[in-house]
Structure 1
Amino acid sequence: MTYIFSPRSNSEGSLSEAARPSQEMDLPALEATDTLNRNCSNLLDCSRIQQYNQMRTAYADILYRWGLLKQRAVVLKFIQNPPPVHKGVEFQTDCVHCNQSAKGPQCLYCRRYSFSCSVCHIAVKGASNFCVVCGHGGHTYHMLDWFRDHNECPTGCGCHCMTEMDCLFR
């Protein structure tokens, strides 16, 4: 598709006179210009992205008040959303049956529950606790009962889970 643009005239004619066809420009050329403009934003200091976004938002608000909605949409395209700040801890577990990485309570590969209680050896579906040092754990109530009377991990791996985790998180 080809769009036709004309150069501005010096006469005081109407806007439609200035838009008379005389020069052709391909749509891909317009898209290339848009891509070039987007890449130019990489020239800005990345540590100040939030400040730039605030300025763009303020300018977009001004354009909205003036009724320039198309121009506002163009400005809003250039607001960069930073990745969300990670709050918390993520753990990766491996299935005890097939040793594949498990993304949830059920293994995607063997379809079995990926985490079983070290005390009762039944699959853990709900609340659980585990040692970040040895990786063993189980149902919260079973782990509480176990560590009231014992200092070592219920699997017999030799880890002193409570002592190790206390030292680790100090």
Structure 2
Amino acid sequence: MRRAAFAVLGTAIGTSLLIGAKLGTSTADPGTQVALEEETGDAAGPTPEAKAPAGKKTSAPPAKKPAAKPPAGGLKDGTFAGAAANYDYGAIKVTITVSGGKITEADATYPDEDPTSIGINEDAIPKLRQQTLAATSASKVNTVSGASLTSAAYKASLQSALDKAKA
């Protein structure tokens, strides 16, 4: 009888944890903080400093488009660089391209000095990029399992880019 009670209790706890994870509860450590480095520059594109520094990996470069009038309630067309988000292993900087009020391209520079960080970032950044292309806000991008620090820094920089692109 006790085994049955524990089995039912375990199933209920497991189900509630799965539902909570599916609803997007953050897995990041609440004490983890990500610092953003603001920069000045043209909102229509990244400044020369926004290019990946030597020794930094970058995904595909975004196409530059001039800033245009935003669609009603959407994002302005153009290329927008988010502030660099510092985390334990370096900094991640997200650049987005918006066309027709939607994100059409996302690019990120990230640290490539630490072998562990390289492995995590090379797996997590493409997943985060894919979610970014389907999202309308950084809160819609889910944390990648095993890459909570990378995910938090990516989302902070992405939100900075989205703020610059808002109408």
TM bin (shorter chain)? under 0.3
TM-score (norm 1): 0.23
Q: Say which structure, 1 or 2, has more relative contact order (CA 8 Å, 6+ apart).
A: 2
Q: Of Structure 1 and Structure 2, which has the larger fraction of its residues in strand?
A: 2
Work out which of the two has the higher radius of gyration on C-alpha atoms and give 1 or 2. 1
